Homo-oligomer: A and B are copies of this chain.
Amino acid sequence: MSKVITFGEIMLRLNPEGYRRIVQADRFEASYAGGEANVAVSLAQYGNDVSFVSAVPAHEVGQACVNSLRRYGVGTEFIVRAGDRLGIYYVEKGASQRSSKVIYDRAYSSFSMSKKDDYDWETIFADADWFHWTGITPALGGGIPEICLDACRAAKKMGLTVSCDLNYRKKLWTRERAGEVMSGLMPYVDVCIANEEDAADVFGIRAENTDVESGRLSKQGYVSVAEQLAGRFGCKKVAITLRSSVSATVNRWNGMLWADGNACFSREYEIHIVDRVGGGDSFGGALIHAIRKGMDQQAVIDYAVAASCLKHTIEQDYNLVSEAEVNALAEGGGSGRVQR
């Protein structure tokens, strides 16, 4: 079977134990994560051959990061050792009315300062049929947007399917800059993934009848967003996740997949959250798996939403669930009876 390539930054994630705040912490749980790395781990969990492309420093922290990917079956042969630092992000888990908080310390990271020559896309894509990246990658600036464009061109030329999660991060770039850069990259994208706000933030594409604050958006509104994205950039599929945040403890979660003029919606899950960071990435990873496996459109969105529902019950970013577990939920489970 052919291979998936994902490309982006991976960071050290530090979070206090449980619900402690950062100012209370005298120890941090350490894990490694990043949008595209998270997708790679999801794909490996479901049995796909997948390699993650990035750059990390040569020292022990960089090695620990590489090890975390190997541990869960992700290929690391294209990870460059260069630069001086692994980006870091701190996570403080919210509860009830207190939001989770993320502090980024990723500037000047090995990845964000990596060079065009660090990546030989012909070699990287040699055995691949799918290329995935997210909007966070070009948002890192420096030479990365251009590297991203290189990668997309090479992918297209070599016949890979390209997927992109818009993943707008206002701390990394402005809406204007995002719109400009992403508009140059989107024409290469076959499968576009977004949450309920990304299309508006990056491209000013808005659904009618939407009220994000209240967490409600008419179904028709999402279809409208998908059609506009497909219309403007030629994407073949557009997938949108829909989150209603009741509180930091309880969220509702569902999604839509639009393809060829047809939209399918998953059922909605009410989730007691263990850790929601990485929720969107787990959706993307499951979606790619389901499409590659040839599931039908409804099954694809059901699989992707069930997988990402389960992610909210898993500590840290990686969605460590099996295909069987996702299927069990997608097919109507979720009552949480003990498996023994």
Contacts and interface: CB of A to CB of B under 8 A. Distances in A.
A64 B25 contact: yes
Contact of A245 (B20, B99, B277, B336): B336
B68 A70 contact: no
Contacts of A24: 315-316, 320
B28 A96 contact: no
A285 to B, nearest CB: 16
A122 interface: no
Interface residues of A, number: 85
Interface of A: 14, 17-31, 59-61, 63-64, 67-68, 70-73, 84-86, 88, 90, 92, 94-105, 107-108, 169, 171, 213, 215, 245-251, 269, 271-274, 276-277, 306, 309-310, 312-316, 320-321, 325, 329, 333-340
A314 B256 CA distance: 36
Nearest to A102: B340
Contact of A105 (B31, B85, B169): B85
Given A22-B60, A26-B26, 14 more contacts: A19-B274, A19-B314, A21-B320, A22-B64, A23-B63, A28-B28, A60-B90, A61-B103, A68-B71, A88-B105, A97-B334, A247-B335, A248-B336, A251-B336
Contact of A22 (B28, B61, B169, B339): B61
Task: List 9 tightest A-B contacts by C-beta distance, closest first.
Answer: A248-B336, A102-B340, A71-B71, A97-B334, A98-B313, A22-B60, A95-B313, A96-B272, A249-B272
Contact of A107 (B92, B108, B271): B108
Number of copies: 6
Given A67-B72, A107-B108, A60 B21 contact: yes
A19 B273 CA distance: 11
Nearest to A271: B96
Contacts of A310: 97-98
B103 A18 contact: no
A309 B276 contact: no
Contacts of A340: 101-104, 169, 171
Given A101-B338, A246-B335, A276-B338, A30 B19 contact: no
A95 B274 contact: yes
B19 A336 contact: no
Contact of A338 (B30, B104, B277, B313): B277
Given A70-B73, A71-B71, A95-B272, A101 B339 contact: yes
Contacts of A92: 60
A339 B102 contact: yes
B269 A335 contact: no
Contact of A97 (B60, B247, B249, B333): B333
27 contacts: A17-B27, A19-B274, A22-B64, A23-B64, A24-B316, A26-B29, A27-B27, A60-B101, A60-B103, A67-B73, A70-B73, A71-B71, A85-B105, A85-B107, A94-B336, A94-B338, A95-B336, A97-B271, A97-B333, A97-B336, A99-B339, A100-B339, A102-B340, A104-B340, A171-B340, A248-B313, A249-B336
